[in-house]
Amino acid sequence: MKHINKAIIAATACMAFSSVAFSTNALAVEVKPAMSAKHAKAATQYRQSIFQLVKSNMGPLGGMAKGALPFDESVMQTNAVRLEQLATMMGDYLSVDTREYNVDTGAKDAIWENFSDVETKIAALKTASQGLQSAVEDGDKSAYRNAIGKIGASCKSCHDDYKKD
């Protein structure tokens, strides 16, 4: 009986993994309108908080890439992990369409009109953050500046298209 239960659990886990791994929309986030002015305000605050955290982690990395700060592997690793984690959460916070309510936001309407592109840009941030982590883990000092640059470029691409000036 134990062997049957283990087999069922293993088969169920395998099927669940397969459905996630092979579904192109498994991780897609659906854009949903804010349900009230209070919800729109909270969603905007959360969204802006995520970006403040991104900024606080990018600041030291940018300083290192520009040569204003010495490369610090510990800071690079920590901040790259944080940026990856923030990218993982970003879609959920960006997907709340707040256009119907009068909230002070820096987001252009296009963010909700072309959300699949936003998700692509979020994925690029996550990949770039993982790239910096790998460079640090490998001790490849020659790759640090380029890896940080890729993170910055992923941020800039979203700002260019979806952030008001």
pLDDT tens by residue, 126-149: 999 999 999 999 999 999 999 999
3 known member of a binding site: no
DSSP the chain: -HHHHHHHHHHHHHHHHHHHHT-TTTT----EE-SSHHHHHHHHHHHHHHHHHHHHHHHHHHHHHTTSS---HHHHHHHHHHHHHHHHHHHHHH-EE-TTS-----B-THHHHTHHHHHHHHHHHHHHHHHHHHHHHHT-GGGHHHHHHHHHHHHHHHHHHHB--
Residue 69 falls inside a structural domain: yes
Does residue 73 lie in a domain region? yes
| 14 in a known ligand binding site | no
In a domain, 9, yes or no: no
Q: Let me know if residue 48 belongs to a domain.
A: yes
Q: Does 91 reside within a domain?
A: yes
Residue 27 confidence (pLDDT)? 57
Annotated ligand binding at 155? The verdict is yes
Which backbone phi and psi does 71 adopt, to 5 degrees? -60, 130
pLDDT beyond 50 at 24: no
Question: Helices 73-94 and 144-162 meet at what angle, rounded to 10?
Answer: 20
**Does residue 11 lie within any of the structural domains?**
no
CATH number at residue 140: 1.20.120.10
For 74-116, how does the pLDDT look when each residue is reduced to its tens digit (9 = 90+)? 999 999 999 999 999 999 999 999 999 999 999 999 999 999 9
**How does pLDDT run across 27-67, given as a tens digit for each residue?**
578 999 999 999 999 999 999 999 999 999 999 999 999 99
pLDDT over 90 (residue 21): no
Looking at per-residue confidence, does 129 or 9 come out higher? 129
The boundaries of the domain holding residue 47 are 33-162
Report the number of distinct structural domains present in the chain. Answer: 1
- Which of 7-21, 49-63, 113-127, 146-160 has the lowest average pLDDT? 7-21
pLDDT, position 53: 98
Q: What does the block give as tokens for 105?
A: 């936001």
CA-based max dimension of the chain? 65
Q: Phi and psi (nearest 5°) for 42?
A: -65, -45
How much of the chain, in percent, has pLDDT values that exceed 90? Answer: 81
- Structural domain includes residue 63: yes
What distance in Å separates the CA atoms of residue 165 and residue 31, rounded to the nearest whole number?
23
